[in-house]
């Protein structure tokens, strides 16, 4: 039975392949040019803003992404959209009232990825809402040029409800096409990746919260440490140490979203043997300390 972490890794691999396909590139181009909206295919458990830097990104959202606090609020919205769109398309509103939508790409009972669009208002922006929004941003401690922010907010794309529902129907139809293509890719991947590497990935996922070594994993898949090291690097592009670190840090990020969990508690729950090791690895993988990463998340309430 696949674990959530194994599913996320498989999803990332499939999404990378889908994005290189001609059908995806053609559809993405047509969608963006026809609707003027941002568009992205997103893997499970992605910790990023799906439309940041894109040509059709909302000017308002681009400004928000430059602030740690509001960026963190957007990341939390992405997490919530992902959680609620696992079975059917879902649209949620951010703290500024803009809609963000996700359409699941499913192969049978397996969730593979999400098609996403949004950054639109379903009504004309007004002065009262903008005033309320600026109060929220001040509460977050966001520092920004209010004149630029006002201009960007009132440039937000506006669609009526029926127009937006039609956009989501287009995404739903395309999700079905991608599901068929995803199934072919997953079957091919299972045939191409060696059983040794597949078993090693599974062993690492199941034992990531324990103190495991390269020799232990090699023994678990019945091969020498030297041969395993060579094969694993060829298949994943990462050394065993880097792969294990990234696997653990993805779990860490999930746990740090819970404000009631201490950083030290999270470190030991995910298999790190000391706080200094944990901090060093987290900084190497993410570019910042776990405390700073968590501080970017707005507090609930």
What integer pLDDT is reported at residue 62 of this predicted model? 87
What integer pLDDT is reported at residue 11 of this predicted model? 80
For residues 97 and 18, membership in a common domain is answered with: yes
Domain of residue 199: give its range: 195-295
What integer pLDDT is reported at residue 22 of this predicted model? 84
**Does residue 301 sit within a domain?**
no
What integer pLDDT is reported at residue 300 of this predicted model? 39
Which residues of the chain have a pLDDT value below 50? 1, 191, 298-301
Q: Helix axis angle, 195-207 relative to 240-256, nearest 10°?
A: 40
For residues 208 and 168, membership in a common domain is answered with: no
* Residue at which a domain ends, from 147, 168, 189: 189
* Residue at which a domain ends, from 162, 189, 216: 189
Beta strands in the chain (DSSP E): 40-43, 90-93, 99-107, 110-120
**Does residue 12 sit within a domain?**
yes
The Cβ of residue 84 has, within 10 Å, a number of other Cβ atoms equal to 14
What integer pLDDT is reported at residue 151 of this predicted model? 93
Q: What is the pLDDT of residues 45-83, one digit of tens each?
A: 876 788 888 889 999 988 887 766 666 777 788 888 888
Exposed e or buried b per residue across 22-56, where buried means at least 16 C-beta atoms within 10 angstroms of its C-beta: eebeebbeebbeebebbbbbbbbbbeebbbbebeb
What integer pLDDT is reported at residue 301 of this predicted model? 35
For residues 173 and 256, membership in a common domain is answered with: no
What integer pLDDT is reported at residue 3 of this predicted model? 61
For residues 157 and 237, membership in a common domain is answered with: no
For residues 95 and 239, membership in a common domain is answered with: no
Dist CA 243 CA 19 (whole Å): 23
For 282, the token pair is 């987290």
Number of structural domains, the chain?
2
For residues 48 and 114, membership in a common domain is answered with: yes
Rg (CA), the chain: 21
For residues 162 and 290, membership in a common domain is answered with: no
For residues 246 and 154, membership in a common domain is answered with: no
What integer pLDDT is reported at residue 1 of this predicted model? 44
């Amino acid at each position: 039975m696949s674990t959530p972490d194994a599913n996320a890794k498989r999803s990332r691999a499939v999404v990378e392949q889908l994005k290189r396909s001609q059908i995806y590139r053609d559809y993405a181009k047509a969608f963006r040019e026809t609707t003027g909206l941002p568009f992205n295919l997103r893997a499970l458990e992605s910790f990023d803003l799906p439309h940041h830097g894109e040509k059709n990104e909302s000017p308002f959202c681009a400004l928000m992404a430059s602030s740690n606090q509001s960026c963190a609020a957007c990341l939390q919205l992405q997490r919530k959209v992902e959680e609620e769109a696992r079975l059917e398309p879902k649209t949620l509103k951010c703290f500024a009232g803009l809609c963000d939508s996700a359409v699941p790409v499913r192969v049978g009972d397996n969730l593979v990825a999400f098609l996403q669009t949004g950054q639109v208002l379903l009504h004309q922006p007004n002065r009262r809402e903008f005033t309320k929004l600026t109060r929220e941003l001040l509460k977050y401690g966001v520092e920004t040029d209010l004149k630029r922010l006002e201009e960007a907010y009132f440039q937000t794309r506006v669609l009526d409800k029926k127009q937006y529902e039609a956009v989501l129907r287009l995404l739903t139809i395309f999700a079905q096409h991608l599901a068929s293509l995803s199934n072919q890719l997953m079957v091919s991947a299972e045939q191409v990746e060696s059983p040794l590497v597949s078993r090693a990935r599974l062993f690492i996922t199941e034992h990531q919260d324990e103190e495991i070594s390269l020799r232990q994993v090699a023994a678990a898949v019945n091969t020498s440490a030297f041969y395993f090291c060579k094969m694993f690097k060829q298949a994943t592009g990462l050394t065993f140490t880097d792969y294990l670190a990234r696997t653990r840090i993805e779990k860490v990020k999930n746990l740090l979203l819970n404000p009631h969990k201490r950083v030290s508690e999270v470190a030991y729950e995910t298999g790190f043997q000391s706080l200094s090791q944990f901090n060093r690895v987290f900084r190497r993988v993410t570019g910042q300390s776990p405390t700073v990463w968590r501080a970017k998340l707005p507090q609930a309430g």
